[in-house]
Amino acid sequence: MGDIENWEFQKKKITPDQAAELVKSGDMVFYGEFVLFPEACDEALSKRANELENVDIRSVCYTKVPKVVEVDPERNHFVLNDFHFGTISRRLYDNHLCNYVPVTYHQGPRIIRKYLDFDVVYLTVGPMDPRGYFNYGLANSVTSGVISKAKKIVVEINRNVPYCLGGNQESIHISRVDYIVDGKNSPLPEVPPLEPTEIDKKIAKHLLAEIVDGSCLQLGIGGLPNIVGKMLADSDIKDLGVHTEMLVDSYVDLYNSGRVTGSRKNIDKFKMSYTFAMGTNKLYEFLHHNPTCASYPVNYINDPRIISLNDKVVAVNNAIEVDLFSQVCSESVGTAHKSGTGGQLDFIFGAFGSHGGKGFICLSSTHTDREGNMNSRIVPTLKQGAIVTVPRSIVQYVVTEYGIAQLKGKSTWERAEALIDISHPDFRDELVQKADDMNIWTRSNKIH
């Protein structure tokens, strides 16, 4: 650290309580993204609950219940909002403690720059490097957009944050920072990989048949992406690339197996490019000062125009249900909110634009409800109030354990037929009858 940076560092150091004093009633406050939760600043701000009202606190996917919620269960002082729901936000929402902000992920930074003004930003970062930069670590995403509209920028140092190389706009220089807080240095939250189900394994086998040498991967989180990654690692497919919204543990295994080289990518060649990472310490240690990986803002990574520049993009995403009109719901069960649009629409759209690209919507053919009844996930119409995540005009492939349905260029009755063919056999006759009732096809084209 140079003399100038050291002097500036000491000058800008404040306590968490002083950082909390920056917030006024009616302010909009940013709490960082994903596992980078501003623990010390949140704790200090919670002490001021009775002094404040109508403080709008926003984050991208809370991974810890904020103290400001614990001290204000009636939402008299703080209002939480989230751009993408995970487990924590979903539970808070169910208890009327958090709102969802709908967003197509690649538009996030632009939406912020056009419409939102943050009064105070709390960013969890790693220690300052010798050149005076604080690295964002595991979440680039919308952070650059947020700080471009921030009146006060506070960085909270956590020495456990890995230094994640860019890319672009993955760090902030001390000259742009208003205040510096020493954090609690708590270990970062870990999200262990889910064990794949037998159905996940069957779906993964269908997907593996569609992945060829030089494919560029986008995999999400969950049992299915994990088993796809494992099967690829054990396969003879070579020269895979990575251009993904979320970097997870399965990519580490893929890279270590030698399957990922990035040599056939057209952009960010040889790099595993991503916008945020969430997994276990294995992933976090892999990312630390690793020039194989490149962190970018989400308006680059998730822009369908950028995605499509690589050839053979394979995008694998999960859904809750798909109806016979081929509309995809991936974020709610009826009106019960579960997740968010995230980057699903971005990557399904971008993969289709890629030369040789394929965008897959994956789901088990059935689910079992709380009463123990088996229900089809391919349904006549989406549940009342269900959110359409991917419109029928954008859907390319839908995959269940019974096969793959390619829907582009197909008429409504051809789509319904293809979807019924990959539905659970126990529901096919019923779905045929429902399609007939809804006049999706003429009788001459009806499935026999």
Kindly indicate the confidence band of residue 6, based on its pLDDT and cuts at 50, 70 and 90.
Answer: confident
Domains in the chain, ordered, with CATH? Answer: 3-182 (3.40.1080.10), 198-445 (3.40.1080.20)
> In DSSP terms, which residues pair with 80 in a beta bridge?
57
DSSP state letter for 390: B
pLDDT, residue 441, reads: 72
What is the model's pLDDT at position 13? 97
pLDDT at 23 over 90: yes
Q: What percent of the chain has pLDDT over 90?
A: 94
Residue matched to tokens 């709008």: 56
C-alpha 153/C-alpha 156 separation (Å) is: 10
Contact 358, 407 (CB under 8 A): no
Please tell me the predicted confidence (pLDDT) of residue 112: 98
Distance CA 366, CA 364 (A): 5
How many C-alpha atoms does 151 have within 13 Å on its Cβ side? Answer: 11
Predicted confidence band of residue 121 (pLDDT cuts 50, 70, 90): very high
Complete DSSP assignment for 410-446: --HHHHHHHHHHTS-HHHHHHHHHHHHHTTSS-GGG-
> Mind listing the pLDDT tens digit for each residue in 248-278?
999 999 999 999 999 999 999 999 999 999 9
Question: How sure is the predictor about 189, in pLDDT bands with cuts at 50, 70 and 90?
Answer: very high
pLDDT at 223: 86
- What phi, psi does 378 have (nearest 5°)? -95, 115
Residue 446: its pLDDT value, please? 53
Write the pLDDT tens digit of every residue in 28-86.
999 999 999 999 999 999 999 999 999 999 999 999 999 999 999 999 999 999 999 99
Look at residue 4 and tell me whether its pLDDT is greater than 90. no
Q: Which of 204-208, 339-343, 423-427 shows the lowest mean pLDDT across its residues?
A: 339-343
The runs of H, that is alpha helices, within 198-259 are 198-208, 223-233, 249-256
Looking at the chain, the whole-number percentage of residues with pLDDT higher than 70 is 98
pLDDT tops 60 at residue 448: no
**Cβ–Cβ < 8 Å for 61, 105:** no
> Is the model's pLDDT at 105 over the cut of 70?
yes
Q: Please check the confidence at residue 2 and state whether its pLDDT lies above 70.
A: no
Q: Is the pLDDT of residue 444 over 80?
A: no
Q: Residue 194: pLDDT band by 50, 70, 90 thresholds?
A: confident
Question: How confident is residue 3, by pLDDT bands cut at 50, 70 and 90?
Answer: low
User: Which are the catalytic amino acids?
Assistant: 245
Beta strands in 263-387 (DSSP E): 272-277, 293-295, 313-318, 321-323, 328-329, 332-333, 336-337, 358-362, 366-368, 374-376, 378-379
Q: Which of 302, 243, 288 is nearest to 138 (CA)?
A: 288
pLDDT of residue 255: 97
Q: Read off the pLDDT band of 405 (50, 70, 90).
A: very high
Residue 202 to residues 206, 232, 240, Cα–Cα distance (Å): 7, 14, 22
Q: Cα–Cα distance between 165 and 129 in angstroms, integer?
A: 12
Tokens of 165: 């190389």
* pLDDT tens readout for residues 148-179: 999 999 999 999 999 999 989 999 999 999 99
CA quadruple 412, 418, 422, 428: dihedral positive or negative? Answer: positive
Nearest to 271 by CA among 247, 249, 253, 250: 247
Round to whole Å and give the CA distance between 130 and 145.
Answer: 25
Q: How far is CA 4 from CA 8, 179, 180, 234, 273, in A?
A: 6, 16, 15, 52, 33
Q: Among 54, 83, 49, which residue's Cα sits nearest to residue 66?
A: 49
Rounded CA-CA distance 363/92 in Å is 26
374 CB-near residues (< 8 Å, 6+ apart): 366, 367, 368, 424, 426
Q: How many CB atoms lie within 10 A of CB 285?
A: 11
From residue 342, give the alpha-carbon distance in Å to each of 82, 84, 118, 275, 322.
12, 7, 22, 12, 18
Under DSSP, is residue 151 helix (H, G, I), strand (E, B) or coil? strand
Q: What is the pLDDT of residue 307?
A: 98
Mean pLDDT of 105-122: 97
Q: What is the mean pLDDT of residues 203-230?
A: 93
Is the pLDDT reported for residue 408 higher than 60?
yes
Whether 366 shows a pLDDT value over 70: the answer reads yes
What token pair was written down for 324?
């016979």
